[in-house]
DNA sequence: ATGGCTACTCCTAGTAGA
């Protein structure tokens, strides 16, 4: 069994005790982290390695930052889009091979600040699609883990009528995500829970949103077709969102029989 | 949305997240 997770920790240093507690409890083979919010030199490598993990990290100064944390040493680590000038991608995309699967930790821009940020979000999604086309075949063992900052369908947000057109649930974002997935990617959560609503991975810190389950499903594990038949389970672990001083996101994991 | 967030930083105020 091969257990793969994704978690936007909203600062790996602020969330170190949560991360350690969760790794011990869930024992994943791989966890992709987003928003580590730290430079490489300040990543808590020793604390994570002492739990039996290896770390590949691509950091930023106090913002962004992605990592692949794995029991097997991640091989062929690649940061950002190869041969493409994109200043933030070096803090938003890291890839490595684990157990023969090309794994990506992705942090898609939020895009809610202003028009420029929104366009950069769309551009980033188009670049991801181009990157897949240039470097992979849909027949490869491919996995994209991350905070995509997009809720794909109405059942992925707590109030689709209210939120329609807002950031993370805007038609142009949903369209860009569909275009990305149309390359040949499948949403593990929807494969296993096709009709479920109210299953979210993010809740606002304000408004008592978690308590009222007013959230959005923004974090995803997308896989290529050859992995679909190996998928055994997909689960959103809401528990860490209820711990003291939590990340605003909670982990999602999937189990494969490889 | 009905309550009043939480990270970060050339750090006590501004920026960003979603």
Q: List, in order of start, the domains of chain A with CATH numbers.
A: 2-256 (3.60.10.10)
The lowest-confidence range among A42-46, A86-90, A122-126, A211-215 is: A86-90
- Check pLDDT > 80 for residue A21: yes
CA of A163 to C1' of B5 (A): 20
- Check pLDDT > 90 for residue A245: yes
The per-residue pLDDT for A87 is 75
Q: Residue A147 is inside which H or E element, if any? A: strand A142-147
The nucleotide closest to A215 (CA, C1' atoms): B18
Q: Which of A12, A19, A15 is nearest to A39 (CA)?
A: A12
Please name the residue whose C-alpha is nearest to the C1' of nucleotide B6.
A205
The per-residue pLDDT for A83 is 78
- Check pLDDT > 90 for residue A85: no
CA of A244 to C1' of B6 (A): 13
Q: Do the bridges between strand A30-34 and strand A2-8 make them parallel or antiparallel, or are there none, so unpaired?
A: parallel
- Check pLDDT > 90 for residue A228: yes
Please name the residue whose C-alpha is nearest to the C1' of nucleotide B1.
A207
Residues 66-105 of A with CB under 7 A from strand B: none
The per-residue pLDDT for A86 is 80
The per-residue pLDDT for A84 is 76
Phi/psi at A89 (5° precision): -60, -25
User: What value does the mean pLDDT take over residues A184-197?
Assistant: 97
Phi/psi at A195 (5° precision): -115, -5
A257 CB-near residues (< 8 Å, 6+ apart) = A1, A2, A230, A232
Q: Which of A147, A89, A95 is nearest to A120 (CA)?
A: A89
């Amino acid at each position: 069994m091969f257990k793969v997770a994704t978690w936007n920790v909203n600062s790996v240093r602020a969330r170190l005790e949560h991360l350690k507690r969760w790794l011990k409890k869930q024992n994943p083979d791989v966890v992709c982290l987003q928003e580590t919010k730290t430079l490489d030199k300040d990543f808590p490598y020793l604390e994570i390695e002492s739990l039996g993990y290896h770390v590949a990290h691509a950091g930023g100064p106090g913002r962004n930052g992605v990592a692949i944390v794995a029991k097997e040493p991640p091989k062929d680590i690649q940061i950002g889009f190869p041969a493409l000038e994109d200043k933030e991608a070096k803090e938003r995309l890291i890839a490595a091979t684990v157990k023969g699967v090309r794994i990506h930790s992705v942090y898609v821009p939020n895009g809610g600040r202003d028009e420029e940020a929104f366009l950069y979000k769309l551009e980033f999604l188009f670049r991801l699609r181009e990157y897949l086309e240039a470097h992979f075949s849909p027949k490869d063992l491919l996995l994209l883990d991350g905070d995509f900052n997009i809720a794909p369908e109405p059942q992925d947000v707590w109030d689709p009528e209210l939120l329609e057109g807002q950031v993370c649930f805007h038609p142009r974002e949903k369209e860009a995500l569909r275009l990305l997935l149309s390359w040949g990617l499948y949403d593990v959560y929807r494969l296993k829970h096709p009709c479920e609503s109210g299953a979210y991975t993010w809740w606002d810190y304000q408004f008592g949103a978690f308590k009222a389950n007013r959230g959005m499903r923004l974090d995803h594990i997308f896989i290529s077709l050859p992995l679909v038949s190996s998928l055994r389970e997909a689960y959103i672990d809401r528990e860490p969102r209820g711990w003291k001083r939590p990340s605003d996101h909670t982990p999602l994991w999937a189990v494969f029989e490889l």
